[in-house]
A and B are shown apart, each in its own frame.
Chain A
């Protein structure tokens, strides 16, 4: 069973070293790939020093393009399982095994690490919670899937989804969008409660104005997605 951990990173030099170390500690059987999304800091250097494989994108593609590059790599190198962990250290690698197990046992095609499914110590802002509830309701309405943490970037997928993502991955607002796409293709999705850390370094790019704008953009995008034929990108 070949396992790959994909860490998309854009200017994460402060956290990337510890994220790699933690993944290696909790999932020693996994190869680690950092997709450096055109960082202007020393992310690439730190990742190389930590002995991770690294793909340097020539310029910033955004999270969708960067993640897809990781999935293309996983497909081309015949990985069976791909783990997606953010480069900013907000995901706890000690939880990865909880997500990997149901995928290996073929209970699901994708496992999502969720902040909301049960009482975890994660606290988030009001606005963020409203947004999450809204997306959750929208996804439930469109797919019948009750996913609570629709924007979580902490995910584990099997080979079928690796192949699918390598070909089709939304560029603009991938996390929520993908749920609707996968549902249409008949993939199984499972949510598993995990602990989330506060961001170790750097501020979240989300401001009130931006998050409202983000909500509108993503909503339009997935509503259109819902009326789009399943095979076209």
Chain B
């Protein structure tokens, strides 16, 4: 093992994930994110905090998976997570787009009906 610097990928990772968790909770508290969309982010930050808290977890995991450089497991983990979360967000957007379309259609139909009624009065 090389010498351990005070600032290394693990400590940076801890600082980052704690800050991140704090920001997420703060945003939920201020109603900027709905609870249901915050859950995955909260889980993500907790897992990151655990993984970066001690080289033990990450080293053991890396060993099991035959990964030579343990910190790259952190990156892999982050990347896969973002991929999955983006897919989730795309699904949410699609659902919303569909709802917005339906709203616009219903609104336009109602306005037409209303205009018609006023013409006939």
Contact = CB atoms under 8 A, between A and B. Distances in A.
Main secondary structure of the interface of A (DSSP, over half): mixed
Given A65-B101, A171-B101, A57 B112 contact: no
Interface string A34-61: 0100000000000000000111111101
Contact of A76 (B97, B104, B107, B109): B109
Interface in A146-205: 171
B88 interface: no
A72 interface: yes
Contacts of B98: 171
Contact of B108 (A56, A76, A171): A56
A53 B109 CA distance: 11
B111 interface: yes
Contacts of B108: 35, 55-58, 69
Interface in B55-76: none
Contacts of A54: 112
A134 interface: no
A73 B101 contact: no
A68 interface: yes
Contact of A72 (B97, B109, B116): B109
A68 B108 CA distance: 12
Contacts of A68: 105
Interface string B79-109: 0000000000000000001100100110111
A61 B105 contact: yes
B109 A58 contact: no
Contacts of B111: 55-56
A65 B101 CA distance: 7
B112 A73 contact: yes
B101 A55 contact: no
A65 B105 contact: yes
A55 B104 contact: no
Nearest to B97: A171
A56 B108 CA distance: 6
B112 A61 contact: no
A58 B112 contact: no
Contacts of B105: 57, 61, 65, 68-69, 72
A55 B116 CA distance: 11
B104 A65 contact: yes
Nearest to B112: A55
Interface of A: 35, 53-59, 61, 65, 68-69, 72-73, 76, 171
6 contacts: A55-B108, A58-B108, A65-B104, A69-B105, A171-B98, A171-B101
Interface of B: 97-98, 101, 104-105, 107-109, 111-112, 116
Given A35-B108, A59-B104, A69-B109, 5 more contacts: A56-B108, A58-B108, A69-B108, A76-B109, A171-B98
The 5 closest A-B pairs by CB, nearest first: A69-B105, A55-B112, A55-B108, A57-B108, A65-B101
